[in-house]
């Protein structure tokens, strides 16, 4: 997706060897027009799939998922990372090791919002080693629903995430795939 790749080149900052900071349009400030194009692109890439629900994780996935959901006319469910006293007690749970925070935490999704008949499209901002995506896939499996695909805005193609998802025979679509970020320079994989 050219628009997204240009935005990454203009505004992305490489931290260390393997973290891309895109706070100016994706993870802190939000470029709504770009999100709108991202939503359209996900609709195009999953147009042959029946989708009844979009599942993501708080916080950065929510904005992308909501705009994408408008093109599918379906609700968004987001997994909660934080304990809340008013959260339902009957939840699906899965553990995630966070790449950026270097610690594990448990996500929760109320059993009310993913049902066995659901066909779920999982959406997230980044794919690194697929820890977050695997936890969301586990939630859908626990609900005995179906994962119809995983849609990612930025995939770090030099990490293991794609293999993890494709080994589960799940369709993965990433709108920009980074081949490397050596010396602070972002190189895209061709054909993304
Ligand atoms: P994974 O679970 O695939 O290992 O990592 C993906 C999750 O970690 C995403 O939800 C994202 O929040 C975060 N993440 C991983 N790598 C990066 C990165 O390079 N930049 C940013 N901003 N977030 C990342």
Gap between the Cα atoms of 153 and 176, Å rounded: 6
For the chain, the average pLDDT equals: 95
Mean per-residue pLDDT, 106-116: 97
Higher pLDDT, 138 or 184: 138
Task: Find the helix or strand (DSSP H, E) in which 153 lies.
Answer: strand 146-156
What would the pLDDT profile of 127-152 be if each residue is shown by its tens digit? Answer: 999 999 999 999 999 999 999 999 99
Q: Is the CB of 128 under 6 A from ligand 1?
A: yes
pLDDT tens column, 3-52 = 999 999 999 999 988 999 999 999 999 999 999 999 999 999 999 999 99
* Residue with CA at minimum distance from ligand 1 atom 10: 126
Percentage of residues in the chain having pLDDT higher than 70: 98
- Give this prediction's pTM: 0.96
Cα–ligand 1 centroid distance for 45 (angstroms): 22
Q: Tell me the average pLDDT across 74-79.
A: 98
Are 146 and 120 in contact, with CB atoms under 8 Å apart? Answer: yes
Least confident of 37-41, 71-75, 96-100, 132-136: 96-100
How far is residue 50's CA from residue 121's CA, in Å, rounded to a whole number? 9
d(CA 157, CA 128): 8
Query: If you count them, how many residues does the chain have?
Result: 192
* Average pLDDT of span 68-81: 97
Q: How far is CA 88 from CA 68, 83, 94, in A?
A: 26, 11, 16
Helix residue ranges, H only, the chain: 2-11, 32-45, 60-72, 131-142, 161-166
State residue 54 phi and psi, 5-degree precision: -110, 130
Instruction: Round to whole Å and give the CA distance between 34 and 189.
Output: 21
pLDDT for res 149: 98
Q: Which domains does the chain have, with CATH numbers?
A: 2-121+148-188 (3.40.50.2020)
Ligand 1 centroid–CA 177 distance in Å is: 13
CA of 18 to the centre of ligand 1 (A): 10
Alpha carbon of 124 to ligand 1 centroid (Å)? 9
Interval 111-125 mean pLDDT: 98
pLDDT at position 56 over 70: yes
Contact 53, 65 (CB under 8 A): no
**Do residues 125 and 61 touch, judged by C-beta distance below 8 A?**
yes
The tokens for 72 are 């599918």
Query: Any known ligand binding at 143?
Result: no
Q: What is the gyration radius of the CA atoms in the chain, in angstroms?
A: 16
Please say if the pLDDT value at position 192 is more than 90. Answer: no
Q: Which of 16, 30, 95, 100 to mutate to test the pocket of ligand 1 (most atoms within 8 A of CB)?
A: 100
- Residue 73, marked binder: no
């Amino acid at each position: 997706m050219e628009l997204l790749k240009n935005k990454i080149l203009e505004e992305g900052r490489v931290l260390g060897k393997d973290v891309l900071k895109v706070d100016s349009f994706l993870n802190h400030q939000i470029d709504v027009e770009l999100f709108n194009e991202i939503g359209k692109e996900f609709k195009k890439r999953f147009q042959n799939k029946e989708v009844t629900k979009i599942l993501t994780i708080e916080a950065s996935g929510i904005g992308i998922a909501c705009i994408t959901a408008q093109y599918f006319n379906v609700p968004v469910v987001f997994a909660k990372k934080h304990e809340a006293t008013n959260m339902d007690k009957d939840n699906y749970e899965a553990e995630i090791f966070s790449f950026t925070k270097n610690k594990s935490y448990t996500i929760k999704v109320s059993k009310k919002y993913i049902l066995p008949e659901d066909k779920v499209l999982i959406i997230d901002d980044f794919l690194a080693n697929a820890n977050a995506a695997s936890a969301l896939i586990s939630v859908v499996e626990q609900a005995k629903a179906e994962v119809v695909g995983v849609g990612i805005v930025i995939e770090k193609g030099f990490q293991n995430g794609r293999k993890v998802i494709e080994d589960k025979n799940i369709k993965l679509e990433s709108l920009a795939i980074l081949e490397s970020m050596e010396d602070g320079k972002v190189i895209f994989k061709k054909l993304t």
